């Protein structure tokens, strides 16, 4: 791709793929949208998360044994790999034929889509997205989840929480946990946040269900979401 601004990494939250059951309607819309931008000379690395299914496995395992954090992480990574295979096949011949297991070694291909997954224990699929951006030369990562914005505090527990439209990495890291843990629920993995800051990568947090907002961002227009840079 000639324009690196058209080279996009998407961290696709597992909560969008499988909120409770596989969201076929969302995935159809997501796939058609990505195809639309491929026709406009965009290319995408899509990293899938584990989402609720990952947390269900982890929570169930804890009721049976006392697993290590590394065991829980590998279980979660397996969930992201299953999601990645599913999403890859949704794009048929447009996607590279294998999922990318190592974001530091993204395969060279003429295909406009590569689908990857969680990487290794100690981080989430968000860190895989940041490393994938480095490997592909992308300078923008879109984190699609089930929230419209990053808030100054948890809106579930604080009715007065205020949405943030733009924030620096240093300020963002003050409002999230300092360390990664299996099943952690935060807008962006704290380990990935440090990496993104050090690499000068722009990350956008937005609600994946708002496809029009995704299109607006890709078109360089005002959108609903938070820019972290």
Q: Which domains does the chain have, with CATH numbers?
A: 4-228 (3.40.1160.10)
Give the predicted TM-score (pTM) of the model: 0.91
Instruction: Look at residue 146 in the predicted model and tell me its pLDDT.
Output: 87
Query: How many residues make up the chain in this entry?
Result: 229
Cβ-contact 125, 50 below 8 angstroms: yes
Residues of the chain with pLDDT under 50: 1-2
Instruction: Look at residue 181 in the predicted model and tell me its pLDDT.
Output: 66
* Residue indicated by tokens 């592909």: 136
pLDDT tens profile 142-180: 999 888 999 988 888 888 989 999 999 999 988 887 776
Instruction: Look at residue 12 in the predicted model and tell me its pLDDT.
Output: 96
Instruction: Look at residue 54 in the predicted model and tell me its pLDDT.
Output: 87
Closest CA to 125 of 186, 215, 166, 56: 186
> What distance in Å separates the CA atoms of residue 17 and residue 166, rounded to the nearest whole number?
26
Instruction: Look at residue 167 in the predicted model and tell me its pLDDT.
Output: 96
């Amino acid at each position: 791709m000639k324009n690196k601004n058209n080279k996009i990494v998407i961290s696709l939250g597992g909560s969008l793929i499988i909120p409770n059951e596989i969201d076929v309607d969302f995935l159809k819309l997501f796939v058609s949208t990505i195809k639309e931008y491929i026709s406009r000379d965009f290319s995408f690395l899509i990293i899938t998360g584990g989402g609720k299914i990952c947390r269900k496995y982890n929570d169930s395992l804890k009721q049976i044994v006392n697993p290590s954090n590394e065991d829980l992480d590998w279980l979660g990574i397996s969930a992201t790999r299953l999601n990645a295979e599913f999403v890859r096949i949704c794009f048929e011949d447009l996607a590279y034929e294998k999922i990318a297991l190592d974001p530091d070694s993204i395969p060279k291909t003429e295909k406009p889509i590569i689908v990857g997954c969680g990487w290794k224990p100690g981080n989430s699929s968000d860190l895989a997205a940041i490393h994938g951006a480095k490997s592909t030369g992308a300078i923008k990562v879109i984190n699609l989840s089930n929230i419209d914005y990053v808030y100054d505090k948890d809106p579930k527990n604080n009715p007065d929480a205020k949405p943030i439209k733009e924030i620096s990495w240093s300020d963002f890291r003050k409002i999230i946990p300092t360390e990664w843990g299996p099943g952690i629920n935060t807008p962006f993995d704290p380990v990935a946040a440090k990496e993104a800051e050090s690499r000068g990568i722009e990350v956008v947090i937005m609600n994946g269900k708002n496809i029009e907002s995704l299109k607006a961002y890709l078109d360089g227009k005002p959108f609903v979401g938070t820019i972290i840079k």
